[in-house]
Amino acid sequence: MDTERRSVLRWFAGAACLSLLGLLPALALADGVSWSQLSADEQRVLARLKDRWDTLPVERQERLRRGAVRWDGMSPDERALARERLEKWRDMSPAQRARARENLERYRSLSPEQKARVRKLLKRFRSLPPERRAALRARWQAMDPEQRAAALERALKRRAAREGRR
């Protein structure tokens, strides 16, 4: 074999090796992270998943790892609240979960001012006695979409009138 041909073959072999090396991180990510590659803290938080970790989809593994990091950074009170919310989520039907996801997307699309208003109203609602909250919730659920829109419009007009008096 002549020298020029060998040099071309070496160049192609080198290029092939380099391209494979470039793919290694992507291939590793495609296979996910093995249990042994998790940090000790991640393994502690995710211990109940150890036996099936390698069978989980890569996206789920990544979500769980991010959640484990968040969990480690939480105070005991924050963890208690997170557990409570997880229990509520588990108790929801698929339709309720879908509605919750839709509401979250709608909330994320609000302006910062609108988000602040929603948080304020929610805080006010939660401060009401349980009987009053239940009555308001029942009244709202009994309304059809047109009645709800009219109720919201009346509330906005009352708010504007109150703010105009200030």
- pLDDT, tens digit, for every residue of 77-122? 999 999 999 999 999 999 999 999 999 999 999 899 999 988 988 8
Q: Comparing 10 with 41, which gets the higher pLDDT? A: 41
- pLDDT, tens digit, for every residue of 51-75? 999 999 999 999 999 999 999 999 9
The reported pTM is 0.54
How far CA 113 is from CA of 30, 48, 82, 107, in Å, comes to: 41, 41, 26, 11
Q: Comparing 21 with 147, which gets the higher pLDDT? A: 147
Q: Comparing 23 with 129, which gets the higher pLDDT? A: 129
Q: What is the pLDDT of residue 28?
A: 46
The identity of residue 102, as a single letter, is E
Backbone angles phi, psi at 25, to 5 degrees: -60, -40
What dihedral angle (degrees, nearest 10) is formed by the CA atoms of 86, 132, 124, 161?
140
CA separation for the pair 36, 44 (Å, rounded): 12
Q: Say whether pLDDT at 130 is over 50.
A: yes
- pLDDT, tens digit, for every residue of 13-26? 555 554 555 544 44
CA separation for the pair 145, 164 (Å, rounded): 28
Q: What is the pLDDT of residue 151?
A: 85
pLDDT category of residue 164 using cuts at 50, 70 and 90: confident
CA separation for the pair 110, 130 (Å, rounded): 28
Q: Say whether pLDDT at 128 is over 70.
A: yes
